[in-house]
Amino acid sequence: MADSLILEVADFEYDVLTGIYSEETGRPQPLRFTIQARLKPIDRYDPDTPLSASKNYMDLKFAAAEALPEGVHFKLIEAVADHVCETLFLQDARVEAVTVKIVKLAISENGEQIGMTLTRERR
C-alpha cells in the first residue's frame, strides 16, 4: 500500500442555501461538514519542514464556506459536496482524493446525524 497523507477538518458548521422542500428554500440551513483531502506525502517530515510540503488545513474549511457561490441554492447536499471536492482539486494539483461528509442539522429530531458522504478521486 502506498503512503498517503490525509488532511481533515471535522465537524465544521456553515449555513448553506440548500434543500428541495418549500420550508427549506429561500433561507440558509446549517450543515455540519467533515472534509478529508488525500495527498501523496513527501518522503519524510522533519521538524523544520515548510508548509509548502503539505497543505494548509484552512483551505479545506474555505472550500466549504467562502468558496461556495453566494446566493446559489443547491437543491441537493450532494451538489454542495461536489462543489467542495472540485474547489479542492482546483486549488492544489497534489490533492488526489477528497471525502466530504455533510450532516443536515435542521432535520435532526433526536440527535441523529442525517446526511451523506461523497468521495471523489482526481480524474
Is the residue at 82 inside a domain? yes
Residue 69 lies in a domain: yes
Read off the C-alpha cell for 37: 483531502
Q: CA–CA separation, 16 vs 23, rounded Å? A: 14
- Domain-embedded: residue 96: yes
pLDDT digits (tens, 9 = 90+) for 54-98: 999 999 999 999 999 999 999 999 999 999 999 999 999 999 999
74 Rama sector, left if φ>0, alpha if ψ -120 to 50, beta otherwise: beta
Asked if the model's pLDDT at residue 107 lies above 90, the reply is no
77 assigned to some structural domain: yes
CATH of the domain at 22: 3.30.1130.10
Distance between CA atoms of 65 and 41, rounded to whole angstroms?
26
Domain count, the chain: 1
Is there a domain that residue 15 lies in? Answer: yes
What is the model's pLDDT at position 108? 81
Alpha-carbon dihedral angle through residues 71, 90, 98, 102, given to the nearest 10 degrees = 0
- What are 5-32's pLDDT values in tens digits? 999 999 999 999 998 887 777 889 999 9
Structural domain of 107: 5-42+52-121
The predicted pLDDT at position 111 comes to: 82
Residue 47 lies in a domain: no
